[in-house]
Amino acid sequence: MDEHEEAGLSEAFWAVARRLRHLTKDALAPWQITPSQSRALHVLGRQETLRLNELADQLRIAPRSATEVVDDLQARGLVERRPDPADRRATLVALTGPGRETARLIEAARRAEADRFFSALAPDDRAQLGVILRKLS
């Protein structure tokens, strides 16, 4: 593959990523949730509780940014902070009942949007794309 083909591949990849980002933002609009908040709900939905620094690590963001995300979600009643019984200096974060339901609804909306987006590909092409993307990540 020459430089021109590689540049075209890179541009095509970023164009798809931008389109997916916009579709995700649109899918989140009914909940007035940012992509960062949505990711936090998703991560917390897979865990019972997480320390704030563990959440930051899993989101690959700075602890300060994770604090802001949690502050916003807590203000909306979607997460709660709890003392860590193993370490009084640490704080645990957990989904509330409404947070769990919101995470479930958002996940369903995102899945439906992804299914619609990738429906332009034949099933074999989608499977191959999945293999390729997993290799690259």
pLDDT digits (tens, 9 = 90+) for 32-71: 999 999 999 999 999 989 999 999 999 999 999 999 999 9
Got the DSSP string for 40-93?
Answer: HHHHHHHSS-EEHHHHHHHHTS-HHHHHHHHHHHHHTTSEEEEEETTEEEEEEE
- pLDDT above 70 (res 2): no
pTM score > 0.75 for this model? yes
Identity of the highest mean pLDDT range in 4-13, 26-35, 98-107:
98-107
Does residue 4 have a pLDDT over 70?
no
Strand partners, 84: 87
Strand order in the sheet with 79-84: 50-51, 87-95, 79-84
Contact 90, 66 (CB under 8 A): no
